[in-house]
């Protein structure tokens, strides 16, 4: 887009839209993961601890 001489504001709007879409997808995946994997681990403390550690590492990246 830059090489094609597109207007900078148009490019920035496209980047902002893409970032927003990725944040939305990330939130949906995290919600689904929490509802399934984490929820299923609630009966097994060791498995739950592993899943919580996994999520914390992901969040802190």
Helix (H, G, I), strand (E, B) or coil at 34: helix
pTM (2 decimals)? 0.65
Whether the per-residue pLDDT at 6 is higher than 90: the answer is: no
**Is a pLDDT exceeding 80 seen at residue 3?**
no
Helix, coil or strand: residue 27: helix
Question: Which H/E stretch holds residue 12?
Answer: helix 8-33
- 7-22 pLDDT, tens digit per residue, is 899 999 999 999 999 9
DSSP per-residue string spanning 35-56: IIIIHHTTT-HHHHHHHHHHHH
Q: Where are the domains of the chain?
A: 8-59
Q: Is the dihedral of CA 37, 39, 45, 48 positive or negative?
A: positive
């Amino acid at each position: 887009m830059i090489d094609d001489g597109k207007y900078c504001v148009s490019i920035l709007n496209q980047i902002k839209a893409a970032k927003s879409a990725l944040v939305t997808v990330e939130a949906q995946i995290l919600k689904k993961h929490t509802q399934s994997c984490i929820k299923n681990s609630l009966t097994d403390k060791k498995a739950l601890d592993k899943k919580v550690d996994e999520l914390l590492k992901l969040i802190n990246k």
